[in-house]
Structure 1
Amino acid sequence: MTDTSTKLDYSKTLYLPQTDFPMRAGLPAKEPEFVARWQDMNLYKRLREDARERPLYVLHDGPPYANGNIHIGHALNKILKDVITRSFQMRGYNSNYVPGWDCHGLPIEWKIEEQYRAKGKDKDEVPINEFRKECREFAANWIKIQSAEFKRLGIEGDFENPYTTMAFHAESRIAGELLKFAMSGQLYRGSKPVMWSVVERTALAEAEVEYADVESDTIWVKFPFAQGPDDLASAHVVIWTTTPWTIPGNRAVSYSPRVGYGLYEVQTAENDFGPRPGEKLIFADALAEESATKAKLTFKRLRTVSAEELAGMTLAHPFEGLAGGYEFPVPLLAGDHVTDDAGTGFVHTAPGHGREDFDAWTDAARDLEARGISSAIPFTVDDAGYYTKDAPGFGPDREGGPARVMDDNGKKGDANKAVIDELIARNMLFARGRLKHSYPHSWRSKKPVIFRNTPQWFVHMDKDLGDQTTLRSRALAAIDETRFVPAGGQNRLRAMIEDRPDWVLSRQRAWGVPICVFADDNGNVLKDDAVNARILAAFEQEGADAWFAEGARERFLGDKANEPWTQVRDILDVWFDSGSTHVFTLEDRPDLKWPADVYLEGSDQHRGWFHSSLLESCGTRGCAPYDTLVTHGFTMDEEGRKMSKSLGNTVTPQDVIKDSGADILRLWVMTTDYWEDQRLGKNIIQTNIDAYRKLRNTIRWMLGTLAHDQGDEIAYADMPELEKLMLHRLVELDEVVRSGYDSFEFKRITRALIDFMNVELSAFYFDIRKDALYCDAPSSLKRKAALQVVRHLFDRIVTWLAPMLPFTMEEAWLDLHKEAVSVHLEQFRETPGAWKNDLLAEKWRKVKDVRRVVTGALELERAKKTIGSSLEAAPLVYITDPELLAAVSGLDMAEICITSDITIKGDKGPLDAFVADDVKGVAVVSQRATGMKCARSWRYTHDVGLDPVYPDVSARDAAALHELEKLGRLAI
């Protein structure tokens, strides 16, 4: 055979990676192609068919409002849900995701009203069902837009058949749940102070309120004694409040038996108004001096006033004699809510304007009536914020008309000034000031709310339901049975259920499911199965608009139409709607199940959807509609500030997708501690782009290498140790991945896989095996075993990551598996337990320690330019640690360290040898390799030139070339 080496381009004889999988992902352009492909092939339907016989795993979607483009919070939320459903789908479940939307309530009604106002229209002049039709159309349009935005994120679900709270069936089922509360006696009409939005003209739930700082008028008010010991006859009790406008609603003053009180006499006074020398006032001792300072007074303490003295005493209202409306006694009531931390130690009690005030008043109602004191609660402020006739001197009888607490724009009215002026005129103002404090605002209008006593519909929290349980006790028991991720969510939800008042269901709005009951003048609800059946049947066919149609009362009441039943026109709290979604989705859809395996939402939903779903289900079914609650935090900017348009620090999912792709956004979600608040900005996005690029390039190398895979199967027993080590690591990673998906710890999975790909594959295993994979003969067992392991690595890593990075993993999977339909129709590969080998892993941990010292020594030589490639080196390695020496014995350490040769000695190295501080007992002396450089593999060996046909390559490479030639794979 003649010398043909000069005719060959040896690079063409190597098994170099070959792939069309691009290094540059081009995700913004590529991802929409996959969205269209999945839609064209109806991937959702294929997934359902594929999983038809598997057990259901159901994540029930908390419904976003259908009223605007999605924001970063939506993206975070939906991506987390998608990863959960996909991961269970790929692990043997039928994990069906049904998206849903909340369509009723103020967010949408407010938008339509804004459009009306812009056109100079009044919604009250439009027939209610026409207005409701516009709300329905508005919501339907945004559902369509948000669906497209969610699908662009890679979310897979039943977007063709989502659930919506405005669907006729849903409205009928929501109404049916309300009627269950009514028929069981849990629904009642009551008069309580609720948070009221003057701007929006409706009651608000706690979940619809946010807190912001405001500056309020503060006043100290004197209440004279109407009854008491002689030395108190001319004394006054002093209260402090930040809501002067509530004084006309005062009906009592609360004190605490745990607080020490004293009778004080004014010695000097510098104020233009207020107490004068000689006046006697009662304060908590701990607050007397501070109060005197506020009023620019000096006090002299006369004596102690005991709680026993205060009990049973009555005061006069500071407005006694005004318009003949305040002639009632003002009792002193003991209250647990009273402290001596701030104020005066006495609490002004207006039961129509605060929950604690209401509770203190109603708790004492029976005793008050026995003392001849009426326990009635006045309605002092109407829905527009004006004083009513129950506030004489400030209401309609006032010259110039009633004073107003707040106007239609949420601005402070003239009520405070009117009250303060009257107190000054009556010498009942002790002092005044201003205070900056946190105050509730409507999260929609961003305007302050007021606490206002109004007739509303409530659900009892503490009424015996006939089985020695209450709604509260049922909910608390259900919390104990629920798994919380993270665990702290349990205490948060428990505290909210323990402390919450009765559930206010009514809203004074137009768009939503009505409180579809009939009641008499006393609030008693008509309980008639036939009437209820007619209501629900009409809602099923026509939607809740049927309640507002002409002739609805007569239609539903039937033969009871002549009886004095009033049709309730209030709308249900939208949280009742969303709290009922488990009924018309989980119960009613055959492709779902009740209860859900998991609910996942932001941590604010402990007082929102988690909360209302729990109460609704416990009230009608006695238990929670979910087994697990997962919560996520909120997204801040890179400096930890809340995102806002005014700060210019918002990051929108649309912008991230346009610039970088949805998989980059998804990778960010997967690498965050999402249980806490997360941060996002340009630098963080770039960090994720860099991580993605490394991950993609590792997958790309595997694809290129597997282009030469012939599917050979090497028995585990015949595999080299290095391959067995990688299979062992797959067993360990399989456990991390599966347990991570089970516990919703996605960061643990991504961290483990990214580290594995960067450190153990790219920088270790692939680095070592490139020589065998590129250069070994086709028959090489080592090469075949390595290809088999790369195949195992690829199939597992790509399927493990598919729930997280659906676009990239689909692209990679279809690139290798040409016959495949979609990676998302695959299951996670089973990883044989027989691959686990802890002894081998421990041995190779020691081998890696030795390799790390050698690599450190070579890095120094490269820095000094003594060598270029590590293949130019043949280091001497001195090992005195017997365990390390035993670990490397029998291994080709030159191959492992990627040098042309290596010498291992069980001796102590010279003083100038390289050592590493973290690996004891290893020293390295660098040496250049001897011999000749192989023109094909670039290793320096002493057998280059022994083959006459290929005289410039090593014997190994010459043998490979001969084998390739025999197989006809070498063009000479």
Structure 2
Amino acid sequence: MFRAWRAPPLAWAGARARVGLRARPGAAWGWARPVASEAESRQPLEENRQDSRYRDTVLLPHSRFPAQLPGRLQPEAELETQQKCGFSELYSWQRQRKTKQEFCLHDGPPYANGDPHVGHALNKILKDITNRFYMMRGYKVHYMPGWDCHGLPIELKALSEVKGAENLSPMEIRRKAREFAERAIEKQKSAFIRWGVMADWANCYRTFDPKYEANQLRVFYKMYDKGFIYQDYKPVFWSPSAKTALAEAELEYNEQHVSRSVYMKFPLLKSPPKLIISIFVTIVSNCTSLDHATLDCASQSSSLYSIVKCTTTGEHFILAADRVESTAAILDMQFEVMSTCKGADLVDGSCAHPTIPGRVSPLLPANHVTMAKGTGLVHTAPAHGMEDYSVASHHQLPTDCLVDEGGFFTEAAGPELQNKNVLEEGNEAVIQMLQAAGSLLKEEKYVHSYPYDWRTKKPMIIRASKQWFVNTASVKATAQEVLKKVKVIPTSAVNRMLEMLDRRTFWCISRQRCWGVPIPVFYQKNTGECLINSDTITDVIKIVEQQGTDAWWTLPIEQLLSKEAVAKAGGHDVLDYVKGQDVLDIWFDSGTSWAHVLEGAEQRADTYLEGKDQLGGWFQSSLLTSVAARKKAPYKTLVVHGFTLGEKGEKMSKSIGNVVDPDVVINGGEDHTKDPPYGADVLRWWVAESNVFTEVLIGPVVLNAARDDINKLRNTLRFMLGNMAGFNPETDSIPASEMYIVDQYMLHLLQDYGSKVTEAYKEYDYSKVVRLLQAFCSRNLSNFYFTTVKDRLYCEEEKDPKRRSCQTVLAEALDVVVRSFAPILPHLAEEVFQHLPYKKEGVFRTGWINASSTWKKPGIEEAIEGACAMRDSFLGSISGKNALEYEVVIVIEPGLLFELMEALQAEETSSVSQLNEIMMASQTTLLSELPKETPADANITKGTFLINLEGGDIREESSYKVIALPIAKAKCPRCRRYTSDSSSTPCPRCLKVIAGKGST
């Protein structure tokens, strides 16, 4: 007979109870269950019964919610759910809510140059999980998807589709590139929508939108006006294959690049004042541009050089003292050291150029020369090396560049080199010239790491040219201080970004292409002096905002540059000026997105979430532009995820055949036996369960496991749905204070689960969310609670408070569980809500987990966990047998543990008590001492249980004995428990239910 739970004599308030050394229900060891006759004990009523007369009186689960969907139906069901549940309207709906809480996740723009791939899926789904979580918690989410639309890769791909592309005008190239980008955007957008990503897809941002371009130019001028942007002539990384300058972030390094290295000799023309000798200076070089060559020696005071004599030729050479033996071995010579001097003693000497008669190459000190390899003296080409340029500038030497945009020697290099490629036949020509002049000592191939253009995959060169730069050296200190105040997940990523910033001295932002935002500068035709001021920029921005940057190419200069602006700058005629032809680096394009996308006066996002490559890319360009323009970061939190790899940890490659196409994952491939359709939720589960802060693996094994995990989850959900038929929480719920203690215990665990899941979401730790979900559903619900309450659900009268108590818990558990995974599996969450036997609005429009704080009852764990410890002893003692064939006798010495068990069973012996329900036997007897008539061969199991309450103020370890005895009663033909006087007659409980006399 049902009775309300009464508290034991001791107060249970205070700190959460802990169980000595025993695991809580749901710990890794799980809940013990009988092994033999398992089907009978786990499903006593689903199978054939001894008497079919009672079958209809049993309340078996009933729901149309499928345990799993055949693969071919999964994609269709998801699309139907998206339509029924208004996925496309959800973003607009939540934006219209009246709430002061805002959450802004700024979408880093994917590049609009290809089909959607699993990298996109990883990134977009992570963002969507985040947005849905905050939306459900009542925040008004701001998320504007965007695309990066300018740049060389799009331009090259667009032109690859056109014959005679080299003859196209700038506007024709821009039109082709725009069309290509627009097609890519539509493909990617369709995929993102199919993945369930919540956004207002009619209002996205694109970096070629006129308003976006205008805002970008405003930031450019603000930085220029503050002195952070300047024009200069100096060596930059140059891509001959793309004919444009590149920033360091746009390089990738080929570890197997082969260069041609030469050892050559320079005849000494003028001896250093401290060395009156006639010798050769021997150097090693892998640069064959010998235009205004100088020779650099190490400037450190500790650097020593030797004057050596070749025993074969009698020639004298100057070499680093530490490199004499190694150089002799390389050149296959024998050297005799004649004398030694300091590196500083070589300064002010000069040598004859080895190939150009009359050209003098001075000997200069330089910090970048090392003694680790080579000869200790290096050939310097001022226009083709960063350190070389610095040395030449300091000594006011010529820095003319003799290599053109395509990587070919110019006419100024001389007829023997003109029009030859410096990386190919130009190399060979220089070597032949050195050989002819008798200056070549040795030539060899040198394998080393070398920069390549990350788009064309061709080698770079360093080439001096006039470019626009951001002076990051003057910004980075502030940027680093600002970054230290940003929350970065994982924390290790912030150090990498700080190191990258530390190494960055300047950022080349000009590109020699036409598909991009023009640098809004005019140049005086005769002097080359640039013209940009507040008047010129205001006029240009106004035009761009209305017509876009095409106007820079289509409008005559008279419409772009006003007479007033020219006059104010001291000029005379607009026609004395020409428009600049450079465009801005696309990292500047995307790096200024905060100025267009972020709302409010602060223009600061709560979160930026991108792959680890953006530590040196968008994260950094956004930070630098924002700090330079307004001295603050555009984000409060950075979340950094890894890259996607094949499931064996290998890079995805078409040649290997391990490329995973998200569309094939969702809809299946041509052969469904090889590539089955999984649906979008499997893709989303893969993202959530992965440790995204490292490399993320994907493949058939991973996807099959994800599908199996979801199907297990579906089974748990189906059980709860099936057992709520005829139940309405609004009218049928039982107050927590009147519930069975095990039901209250489940609410207690449910509240704890909800809190932990919420915290995991806040930390962007979605794999922890999945682990918590799986553990709770498998251990706490399926293995423990469902097993414990099946008899009550199936065999009690439909409206009996004992059954309603259990149904109330199932309704709450279903609600909490579904809401907890809804951001990850939105299709499944809405599907479950559509199968509820009572009316309820959709998951996402009704908020986050609502686990009442009153469910948290410190101390309640002791009663249930104590009973479960004894149940484990009982089931362990009858291993392999059916627990229902036994009655169990529990003997506990007087004390707190006995009082706790007494709260579960007031009477001495019962077959319907809460304690008996937990024990899973047909009858339980609770005693304080061992009965005298205990059979001599009785199976007695002993154990102890530690009670810890009030934060340790109440500690009591009690011993107990559990006796398993074969029960003498007959099996009830209705409930299959051994509680009947006759196998043909239902037990007293079942007779009451059948007669409609169950407890009410």
Question: In which range does the TM-score fall when normalised by the shorter chain?
Answer: 0.7 to 0.9
Task: State the partner residue of 1:667.
Answer: 685
- Of stretches 871-880 and 790-799 in structure 1, the one that deviates more from structure 2 is 871-880
Task: State the partner residue of 1:436.
Answer: 447
Task: State the partner residue of 2:78.
Answer: 31
Q: Which has the higher contact order (CA 8 A, sep 6+)?
A: 2
User: Partners in 2 of 1:453 and 1:426 — Cα distance?
Assistant: 28
Task: State the partner residue of 2:364.
Answer: 332
Q: Is contact 1:881–1:922 with CA below 8 Å preserved after alignment?
A: no
User: Partners in 1 of 2:450 and 2:544 — Cα distance?
Assistant: 40
User: Partners in 1 of 2:847 and 2:276 — Cα distance?
Assistant: 83
User: Partners in 1 of 2:943 and 2:291 — Cα distance?
Assistant: 81
User: Partners in 1 of 2:799 and 2:452 — Cα distance?
Assistant: 76
Task: State the partner residue of 1:307.
Answer: 343
Task: State the partner residue of 1:970.
Answer: none
Task: State the partner residue of 2:193.
Answer: 151
Structure 2 residues without counterparts, runs of 5 or longer: 1-48, 567-572, 668-676, 905-913, 947-956
2:843 counterpart (823, 834, 837): 823
TM-aligned CA distance change 1:714 to 1:523, over 3 Å? farther
Task: State the partner residue of 2:160.
Answer: 114
Shift of 1:104: 0.7
User: Partners in 1 of 2:628 and 2:529 — Cα distance?
Assistant: 19
Shift of 1:928: 4.0
Task: State the partner residue of 1:872.
Answer: 885
User: Partners in 1 of 2:919 and 2:555 — Cα distance?
Assistant: 87
1:534 counterpart (530, 539, 546): 539
2:488 counterpart (480, 484, 492): 484
Name the aligned partner's letter for residue 682 of structure 1: P
TM-aligned CA distance change 1:298 to 1:902, over 3 Å? farther
Q: Is contact 1:814–1:823 with CA below 8 Å preserved after alignment?
A: no
Q: Is contact 1:245–1:416 with CA below 8 Å preserved after alignment?
A: yes
Q: Is contact 2:297–2:364 with CA below 8 Å preserved after alignment?
A: yes
Residue 416 (structure 2) pairs with residue 398 (structure 1): yes
1:22 counterpart (54, 66, 84): 66
User: Partners in 2 of 1:952 and 1:912 — Cα distance?
Assistant: 30
Q: Is contact 2:727–2:837 with CA below 8 Å preserved after alignment?
A: no
Shift of 1:321: 3.2
Q: Is contact 1:237–1:283 with CA below 8 Å preserved after alignment?
A: no
Shift of 1:886: 7.0
Q: Deviations over 1:77-111 (max 9, x none)?
A: 00000011111111120012211011111121011
Task: State the partner residue of 2:42.
Answer: none
Aligned with 2:383: secondary structure? coil
Shift of 1:44: 2.4
User: Partners in 2 of 1:913 and 1:433 — Cα distance?
Assistant: 86
Task: State the partner residue of 2:594.
Answer: 582
Shift of 1:913: 7.0
TM-score (ref. length: structure 1)? 0.87
Shift of 1:528: 3.7
Task: State the partner residue of 2:794.
Answer: 774
TM-aligned CA distance change 1:339 to 1:835, over 3 Å? farther
Aligned with 1:16: secondary structure? coil
* Structural RMSD (CA): 3.1
2:278 counterpart (234, 246, 262): 234
1:614 counterpart (623, 627, 630): 623
Name the aligned partner's letter for residue 135 of structure 1: A
Q: Is contact 1:875–1:924 with CA below 8 Å preserved after alignment?
A: yes
- Of stretches 509-518 and 440-449 in structure 1, the one that deviates more from structure 2 is 440-449
Q: Is contact 1:188–1:523 with CA below 8 Å preserved after alignment?
A: no
Task: State the partner residue of 1:864.
Answer: none
TM-aligned CA distance change 1:114 to 1:781, over 3 Å? same
User: Partners in 2 of 1:580 and 1:851 — Cα distance?
Assistant: 64
Aligned with 2:260: secondary structure? strand
Aligned with 2:402: secondary structure? coil
Shift of 1:224: 4.3
User: Partners in 2 of 1:610 and 1:715 — Cα distance?
Assistant: 51
User: Partners in 2 of 1:292 and 1:874 — Cα distance?
Assistant: 95
User: Partners in 2 of 1:917 and 1:522 — Cα distance?
Assistant: 95
Q: Deviations over 1:920-953 (max 9, x none)?
A: 97887765443111112111114557xxxxx621
Shift of 1:563: 6.2
Name the aligned partner's letter for residue 884 of structure 2: L
2:208 counterpart (140, 154, 166): 166
Residue 823 (structure 2) pairs with residue 803 (structure 1): yes
TM-aligned CA distance change 1:188 to 1:637, over 3 Å? same
Q: Deviations over 1:134-180 (max 9, x none)?
A: 21122112211111100111101011110111111112222222222
Shift of 1:230: 6.6
TM-score (ref. length: structure 2)? 0.84
- Of stretches 530-539 and 72-81 in structure 1, the one that deviates more from structure 2 is 530-539
Shift of 1:780: 3.0
- Give matches, 1:450-465, under 5 Å: 450-462=461-473
Structure 1 residues without counterparts, runs of 5 or longer: 270-275, 369-373, 407-412, 463-469, 862-866, 946-950, 968-972
User: Partners in 2 of 1:728 and 1:39 — Cα distance?
Assistant: 34
Residue 993 (structure 2) pairs with residue 960 (structure 1): yes
Name the aligned partner's letter for residue 152 of structure 2: L
User: Partners in 2 of 1:879 and 1:348 — Cα distance?
Assistant: 92
Shift of 1:317: 5.5
Q: Is contact 1:440–1:448 with CA below 8 Å preserved after alignment?
A: yes
User: Partners in 2 of 1:939 and 1:510 — Cα distance?
Assistant: 83
Shift of 1:608: 0.7
Q: Deviations over 1:738-770 (max 9, x none)?
A: 211211111111111111101110000111011
TM-aligned CA distance change 1:279 to 1:836, over 3 Å? same
Shift of 1:889: 5.5
Shift of 1:477: 2.4
Q: Deviations over 1:464-491 (max 9, x none)?
A: xxxxxx3223322221221111112221
Residue 556 (structure 2) pairs with residue 551 (structure 1): yes
User: Partners in 2 of 1:255 and 1:156 — Cα distance?
Assistant: 60
User: Partners in 1 of 2:451 and 2:743 — Cα distance?
Assistant: 63
Name the aligned partner's letter for residue 107 of structure 2: D
Shift of 1:570: 0.6
1:931 counterpart (957, 960, 969): 969
- Of stretches 689-698 and 21-30 in structure 1, the one that deviates more from structure 2 is 21-30
Q: Is contact 1:255–1:338 with CA below 8 Å preserved after alignment?
A: yes
TM-aligned CA distance change 1:710 to 1:822, over 3 Å? closer
Residue identity (%): 33
Q: Is contact 1:854–1:877 with CA below 8 Å preserved after alignment?
A: no
Q: Is contact 1:222–1:318 with CA below 8 Å preserved after alignment?
A: no
Aligned with 2:995: secondary structure? helix
Shift of 1:502: 1.5
TM-aligned CA distance change 1:809 to 1:231, over 3 Å? same
Shift of 1:501: 2.4
User: Partners in 1 of 2:373 and 2:892 — Cα distance?
Assistant: 74
2:294 counterpart (248, 251, 259): 251
2:171 counterpart (102, 118, 129): 129
Task: State the partner residue of 2:854.
Answer: 834
User: Partners in 2 of 1:431 and 1:332 — Cα distance?
Assistant: 24
User: Partners in 1 of 2:108 and 2:824 — Cα distance?
Assistant: 20
Q: Deviations over 1:408-452 (max 9, x none)?
A: xxxxx1122122222233343343322322222222212222121
Name the aligned partner's letter for residue 136 of structure 1: R
User: Partners in 2 of 1:661 and 1:857 — Cα distance?
Assistant: 46
